[in-house]
Amino acid sequence: MKYRHAKVRTADSYTFPGKPCRMEVDGRSMEIEKVLSHWREAYEDPSFYPEEFYKVRASDKNVYILRYCILFNSWWVKEHRRAT
């Protein structure tokens, strides 16, 4: 599945963009119940901007990967695993 654009609200944090706490995807709003992991991806080429990733469990009990694009100040999401 490809990444889709998402609106994400973050909690105040000393690091940018902050910990995600709510997301809206395709007009559907969900609370982030838990951040399962967080990592940054950087490249050796300094012309590339690093991106931040969050693996989260949402209120619909599915697991998603949230990607924050620093260059465009935008959030993207893809479903990682459906609830069973």
- Which tens digit of pLDDT belongs to each residue from 25-73? 989 999 999 999 999 887 777 777 888 999 999 999 999 999 999 888 8
Number of CB atoms found within 10 A of residue 48's CB: 11
Tabulate helix, strand, coil % of the chain (nearest 5): 0, 60, 40
Look up the domain containing 70 and give its range: 4-81
Determine the pLDDT at residue 48: 77
Residue 4, classed as helix, strand or coil, is strand
Q: How far is CA 60 from CA 23, 28, 53, 56, 57, in A?
A: 11, 10, 20, 11, 8
pTM of the model: 0.86
Structural domain tally of the chain?
A: 1
